[in-house]
């Protein structure tokens, strides 16, 4: 009726009328159900990230474009690697002889096993960084994080008589070495050597903190 227009109530604007309706969809063209979509997971995604898949959502009916599918990711924990952004951390156990003498050892990476060098005299908790062995960030193509290998030194609970004798000889030699330093007046070299250790620096920090607190109290 001029000048008003409206959609035909019979064909609903499709221009065609279905005389024999499907018993399953009853002419709607869609049915309730579940379908599977192939989704590409970008490298480096993390928990909370969302993947947008176009035209993988609910159907809009006859002639309408399907909606979108939004997938919110939740990354499962790994028994070997611990993630920190694009960096990954892994613990590696070594013997106390390897810690003292150094050497080489295989460690797992995201690309497979690789061989790294154990520094001589490595301390418990010391970290070796493998550059570029971490995860690739999805928004920064070509940028890879690092892998941090933390050494955990294993000390044997029991030693045989020969091992005990060797350790006692080593302890006696160390004690003799320290006494000779003080006897020959080389105590400054011994202090300088001890100053390189992490425990000495922590102790020195506590002493300085106590000194500052006492100075403020007296003033």
* pTM, two decimal places: 0.63
Above 50 in pLDDT, residue 200? no
Above 80 in pLDDT, residue 193? no
Specify if 26 maps to a domain.
Answer: no
The burial of 133, by beta-carbon neighbours within 10 Å (0-12 exposed, 13-18 middle, 19 or more buried), is given as: buried
pLDDT at 117: 93
More confident residue, 157 or 146: 146
Query: Does residue 128 sit in the same domain as residue 170?
Result: no
Specify if 31 maps to a domain.
Answer: no
pLDDT band for 91, please (50, 70, 90 cuts). very high
Number of residues that this document lists for the chain: 219
Specify if 71 maps to a domain.
Answer: yes
Query: Does residue 90 sit in the same domain as residue 141?
Result: yes
Q: Give the list of residues 6+ apart from residue 116 with CB closer than 8 angstroms, or none.
A: 104, 105, 106, 107, 128, 130, 149
Number of domains observed in the structure of the chain? 3
Give the tens place of pLDDT for each residue, 49-84.
999 999 888 887 766 788 999 999 999 999 999 999
* Residue 147, domain extent: 81-154
Give the tens place of pLDDT for each residue, 201-214.
444 444 455 455 55
Specify if 34 maps to a domain.
Answer: no
Q: What is the DSSP track for 80-131?
A: S-EEETTEEEEEEEEEHHHHHH-EEEEEEETTEEEEEEEPTTPPTT-EEEET
Query: Does residue 95 sit in the same domain as residue 133?
Result: yes
């Amino acid at each position: 009726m001029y000048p008003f227009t409206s959609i035909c109530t019979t064909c609903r604007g499709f221009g065609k009328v279905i005389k024999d309706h499907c018993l399953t969809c009853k002419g709607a063209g869609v049915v309730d159900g579940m379908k599977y979509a192939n989704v590409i997971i970008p490298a480096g995604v993390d928990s909370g990230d969302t993947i947008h898949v176009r035209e993988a959502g609910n159907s809009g009916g006859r002639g309408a474009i399907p909606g979108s599918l939004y997938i919110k990711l939740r990354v499962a924990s790994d028994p070997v690697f611990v993630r920190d952004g694009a960096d990954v951390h892994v613990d590696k156990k070594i013997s106390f002889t390897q810690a003292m003498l150094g050497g080489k050892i295989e460690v797992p990476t995201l690309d497979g096993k690789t061989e790294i060098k154990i520094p001589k005299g490595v301390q418990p908790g010391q970290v070796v960084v493998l550059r570029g062995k971490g995860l690739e960030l999805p928004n920064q193509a070509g940028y890879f994080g690092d892998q941090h290998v933390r050494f955990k030194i294993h000390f044997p609970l029991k030693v045989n008589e020969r091992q005990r004798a060797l350790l006692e000889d080593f302890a006696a030699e160390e004690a003799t070495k320290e006494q000779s330093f003080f006897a020959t007046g080389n105590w400054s070299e011994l202090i300088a050597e001890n100053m390189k250790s992490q425990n000495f620096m922590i102790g020195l920090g506590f002493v300085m903190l106590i000194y500052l607190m006492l100075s403020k109290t007296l003033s």
